[in-house]
């Protein structure tokens, strides 16, 4: 599918994925945040046609991955938290919202080639 049919004008990397489809022949796993209802609908279709099993991340997946990444990359987490205070704000005020979980036009997609 030509990228002109997708809503990707400012997303250079994802745009190139679909302009150079042979690149996908070398990809076994892919994760991306999709913006826009059209992209949320069309990009998974394209990846499925290329042999990917697709999953949209849910709240449980995000919590599990966050905990795993904090444990595996604790110094990086501390540096990021010092700059953003996202975790602190969430713990004490429950003020952090993940758009990919609360808005239909944003989704976090995970794909893996079927084996």
pLDDT in tens, 53-108: 999 988 888 889 889 999 999 999 999 999 988 888 888 887 767 766 777 788 88
Q: Is 28 exposed, middle or buried (0-12, 13-18, 19+ CB in 10 A)?
A: exposed
- Indicate the domain borders of the chain: 3-113
How many angstroms separate the first and last alpha carbons of the chain? 24
Specify the pLDDT at position 8: 43
pTM exceeds cut of 0.75: no
Specify the pLDDT at position 52: 94
């Amino acid at each position: 599918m030509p990228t002109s049919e997708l809503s990707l004008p400012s997303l250079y990397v994802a745009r190139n994925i679909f302009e150079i489809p042979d690149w996908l022949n070398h990809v076994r796993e892919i994760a991306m945040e999709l913006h826009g209802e059209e992209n949320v609908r069309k990009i998974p279709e394209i990846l499925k046609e290329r042999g990917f099993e697709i999953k949209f991340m849910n709240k449980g997946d995000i919590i599990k991955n966050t905990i795993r990444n904090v444990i595996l990359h604790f110094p990086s987490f501390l540096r990021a938290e010092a700059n953003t205070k996202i975790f602190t704000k969430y713990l004490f005020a429950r003020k952090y919202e993940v758009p990919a979980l609360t808005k239909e036009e944003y989704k976090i997609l995970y794909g893996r080639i079927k084996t």
